[in-house]
Amino acid sequence: MPKAEKIEKVAALKARIEAAEALVITDYRGLSVSDASDVRGSLREAGAHFTVVKNSLLKRAADEAGLDGIKDMLDGPTAVTFIRDDPVAASKRLMEATRRYPTLVLRGAYVEGRFLSGEQAQALAELESREVTLAKLAGALKGEMVRAASMFQALQGRFLGLVEGLRGKAEAAAPEPEPVPVTEPAPATETETETEAETEHEGEE
């Protein structure tokens, strides 16, 4: 392979490695072109890209990307699954493919900054997918919100009942207002009556 072409392919592999959420290394010996196409289509639906690579190119690209540990997985014909989305969902698809095509063997994986053995990569496929985990989390949070709302309503009801009770006690304990006495006008004396009569008589003259 010409040097320029090799450099270009290494750069492309490095870019894929850096853009991937996870990598799964498999041995694909015995897999026909048709079988590989089927695996590739299944993984594409899970947001992953399955491709056959040369060990020398992948090793160099991994070294440049800072993943020197991949070299321990490169023994024999190699295919790499570059996972862009949920590693668990893609691993499940890959494990389904290994059951259909026993010659497809998991050698290892690189997920969230850690290198996994073939057995650990298989265990990854047995975990729940991100969608299922998020759905369960959402359900749990919804349940907690409903429970919190019910608790709040109960506390609110108890608080209002307490306020009403205190108001009733306050009204019962308040003293009744004393009646205001009504003052009757004092009866006029004889002198006052005579004076008023004289005043009226003078007015008539």
67-71, 136-140, 158-162, 167-171 — which is least confidently predicted? 136-140
What residues have CB less than 8 Å from 13, skipping those under 6 apart?
Answer: 53, 57, 58, 61, 62
**pTM of the predicted model as reported, rounded to 2 decimal places:** 0.60
Phi then psi for residue 28, to 5 deg, are: -110, 10
20-24, 111-115, 165-169 — which is least confidently predicted? 165-169
Contact 126/135 with Cβ under 8 angstroms? no
Per residue in 30-40, is it b (16+ CB within 10 Å) or e — as a string?
A: ebeeebbebbb
Determine the Cα–Cα distance for residues 96 and 102; give it in Å rounded to an integer: 10
